[in-house]
Amino acid sequence: MGRGYIVEDAVEGYLSKLCQQQAGPVTGLLIGQSSAQRDFVIMATRTPQREESTAATGNSLDKEWVTEHARQVSRMLPGGLSVLGVFIITDTDGKDTLTTVRQLVFAVENLISSEHLWIPADDDVTDCVALHVNPKTRKTVCRTFDVKDPKSVAKPADWKYQSGVCSSWTTVSCCLNVDMLVPLPNNRTNAENMDACLKGGLEAWANQIMSGVCLIDGKKLLEDTELSAGQKRNVRQTYTTQLLISPDEQRPTDVVQRCGGSVSVRGTIHSRAYIHSNKPRAKLAEKLLKRDVVSTVATRVQMLLEELLTSEEESKNSRDKQQSEQFCLPRRVFCPVKAPGPVCVCDYHFSDEGLSEVTDRLKEMLDVDAAEEDLDTKQEMTAEITEKNTINAEPAVESDEVLEPKRNNYAGVAVGAAVALLATAASMLYLNDV
């Protein structure tokens, strides 16, 4: 028998509702946590409608749109939560549907993993799920594919609904000061070089995080230590952690180098991870928390790059007016999921936004109906930029461009142009001319 999936019963109600509402094929994402023995699915969210979609596409699926949705959803998931796979609701059975879901599973995983700045662990689960639901008969077929094997074939999997799947999950959290400096190349017109330097700087910082020492409630625990040992069963546990980071050893030749500028990221972030209640170990808690630290910082830097795309023309006119400028990265905001328990999803709130824009994105991306009062906005403060270049609380990025980013709230961005535009934006972020 293949892998087993324990699924929150709210997911069953959600899929049933989609079966009743939709006439054509519906795709979406399955969200939860993997473990060695089984996977836990706590949420499902449909792919948003694409504004520019036309009837000419018929029943064909827009693979680029589905994968872009998955990329944005992945950014909104704290540590311990990930996109486990895809679902499709269609009354078409057979080889065509299997081929479609297989393509979607691999495309989604490839795009999400391309943004990861950590090296996969040997114990990482590489099976992703594809769920097919027939809206007429309500027959459900669950299969898995090993996404690390391009020749992987579909394997049957067990799909079982259960209530309170994440009701007693463990929460680990920490606050971390970030002070990162990324040197940039002399050739500022080469967008590929600029983008590579930014990613390389983030990767070097990510390596420091992943090799850091994690203290759980002030103690360095052995990897196999069970966090819930000695505690009452099915009771939520919350742990506060500390990450002790040592700078990488550098040779003098590594420190002194010619560059055309730099990007600085400074401030304090709140990181959080959720762990299933089936004998959670210290090793897993540390891995998921560190990955969340890396992911939340990289996501915010990337979001700012994307925000600056819409101000590219303005930047051309102001390029020579000022040598340096600072931008506030968005603060992290949490929102509880529908399932009972401590688990939350997150979004990133820019200083010039209202909270209503956060709730709109939660609805658009995750199909979560949230009111502003449901949002947890207290974990991080909004950055304050002073004349003395002092950054308080939330991280900020410094650049020599005078820009006022405009916002695209939804996934309705031209996916085909995203790579080229991102490269252009990356070439704009440099500071401290040499």
Residue 314 in any domain: the answer is yes
Split into its structural domains, the chain has a count of 2
Give the residue from 113, 129, 162 where a domain finishes: 162
Q: Is the pLDDT of residue 43 over 60?
A: yes
Query: Residue 159 and residue 32: Cα distance in Å, rounded?
Result: 14
Say if residue 208 is in the same domain as residue 309.
yes
Range of the domain at 361: 170-426
Say if residue 144 is in the same domain as residue 203.
no
Say if residue 93 is in the same domain as residue 201.
no
Distances in whole angstroms, Cα of residue 71 to Cα of each of 76, 114, 200, 410, 415: 9, 10, 20, 12, 11
Q: Report pLDDT digits (tens) over 56-112.
A: 344 567 899 999 999 999 999 999 999 999 999 998 877 788 999 999 999 999 999
Residue 256 in any domain: the answer is yes
Say if residue 275 is in the same domain as residue 141.
no
Q: Report pLDDT digits (tens) over 231-289.
A: 565 566 899 999 998 766 554 445 566 666 778 888 899 999 999 988 889 999 999 99
- The residues that bridge with 433 in the sheet, in sequence order, are none
Residue 434 in any domain: the answer is no
Residue 55 in any domain: the answer is yes
Residue 432 in any domain: the answer is no
CATH assignment at residue 57: 3.40.140.10
Residue 431 in any domain: the answer is no
Say if residue 220 is in the same domain as residue 135.
no
Say if residue 192 is in the same domain as residue 339.
yes
Say if residue 194 is in the same domain as residue 108.
no
Look-up of token digits 């540390």:
286
Give the residue from 129, 162, 195 where a domain finishes: 162
Question: Residue type for 377, please?
Answer: T
Half-sphere exposure of 71 toward its Cβ, with a 13 Å CA cutoff? 23
Who contacts 354 (Cβ-Cβ below 8 Å, separation ≥6)? none
Give the residue from 145, 162, 179 where a domain finishes: 162
Say if residue 193 is in the same domain as residue 299.
yes
Q: Report pLDDT digits (tens) over 215-242.
A: 999 999 999 998 875 556 556 689 999 9
Confidence of residue 324 (pLDDT cuts 50, 70, 90): low
